[in-house]
Every structure is written in structure tokens, then in C-alpha cells.
A and B are shown apart, each in its own frame.
Chain A
Amino acid sequence: DQQVKQNSPSLSVQEGRISILNCDYTNSMFDYFLWYKKYPAEGPTFLISISSIKDKNEDGRFTVFLNKSAKHLSLHIVPSQPGDSAVYFCAASQSNFGNEKLTFGTGTRLTIIP
């Protein structure tokens, strides 16, 4: 049972435009959501997170939006840069679970076209 889903395996965006990556989840117990970025031959690196008590969190060019009623979150990157080309993973956890078990989606490969 895939509790975190990223339905777009790949996305191509022109440099300077907005990139929007989507993620859906099914487990209503999740209350903390994160985006990780992964380059080839490297481990995933943390990008941005959001708690379920918020609906938006912004950090520079990156903004994450959370719609709890739809169990949907999205990552907006604006403006997109060539260095943003990577695989992006959405992940979710239960912050009061006592451990950091993250449930990941399958990832979206973002390609920024110069």
C-alpha cells in the first residue's frame, strides 16, 4: 500500500519558469511532511518541510503548500535553475511516533531546460 504517492515520474521545465511537483498521501496520521532532493551518486538532501498546522512554508525559491483536506502537498520552485535538475522525493512522518520513520514517495525527476 503506497501511502505517499508522486504520480509524475518526470517533469521538464524551462529555466526561469516555475516548477511544481505534486505529492498525495493517504495516511491521515501523517503530520509532518518533507521534500528531499537527490543527485546521482549522492544521498538525498533535505530541502524544505511543513508541519500539518501550517498550509504554507517558504524558503527562498522553494515553497511547500499543504492541503490537508485533499491530503495533497506541492513543492514550487521559482525561478527554476539548471542546478535544480534532480530527483525530488516527498516524505511524510508522524512527529509524535517516537522515531523518524519517513515514508517516501517514488520520486519525480525534474529536468530544467536551459
Chain B
Amino acid sequence: ETGVTQSPTHLIKTRGQQVTLRCSSQSGHNTVSWYQQALGQGPQFIFQYYREEENGRGNFPPRFSGLQFPNYSSELNVNALELDDSALYLCASSLGPSGANVLTFGAGSRLTVL
């Protein structure tokens, strides 16, 4: 059983650029959630995808967008990068969109915006 894999592991961008982060969900999981973890903070919910549709969104602006593909993998896109977007981006997968399900997290993609 493969876990959640994320790519790239590290990347550096400059303000105003765009970035795409990728996530492969754990085998058998059909739901993907994305979290942003700033330094010294806990992970913050960005959004969740279920059946290729957004299924809930946190307090993030529209320049944060995502996709889920038929194989349940997912992408997080961030446009017009700002310095405060520097963070660890965590992807998590689960069996379904129930609040009682356990999330399995990947190791994250660390984004630095200069």
C-alpha cells in the first residue's frame, strides 16, 4: 500500500510567479485535502476535493485553486505569489469526505517565495 506522495519537495519562486504542486493519494483513497503550514503554526485547511469537485474551502483567496483527476491525484495551483505564501504545503488523502475519517498526509512541498 503506497502512501501519499507529493512533488516537488522543495521549490523557490519569486513574487508574482505561479506554482503548481502535485499530490498522489494513497491507494484506495478518493478524497484529497490541501493544507498550508506556515512556520511555527499548525496546518490550515485550504480546500478538499472529492469526485473531482471542490468540497469545502478554508479562508484562502481565489488565487489558490486546485484540481482532482480521475485517478484521485490532485494539484494545487497558486497564482500571483506573495511573500506570505512561503510555507509547507501538505496534501492528505482519505477514504471519503466524512469528518470522522482519518487523513493520511504526505511529507509536503516546501515553497519559498522571494
Binding site for B on A (CB under 8 A): 4, 6, 31-32, 34, 36, 41-46, 49, 51, 89, 91, 93-107
Contacts and interface: CB of A to CB of B under 8 A. Distances in A.
Task: Give the interface size class of chain B.
Answer: 20 to 34
Interface of B: 4, 31, 33, 35, 40-45, 48, 50, 55-56, 58, 90, 92, 94, 97-108
Contact of B44 (A31, A49, A104): A104
A90 to B, nearest CB: 8
Determine chain A's interface SS by DSSP, over half rule: loop
A4 B108 CA distance: 22
A97 B107 CA distance: 26
A51 to B, nearest CB: 7
A100 B103 contact: yes
B41 A102 contact: no
Given A43-B4, A43-B106, A43-B107, A103 B45 contact: yes
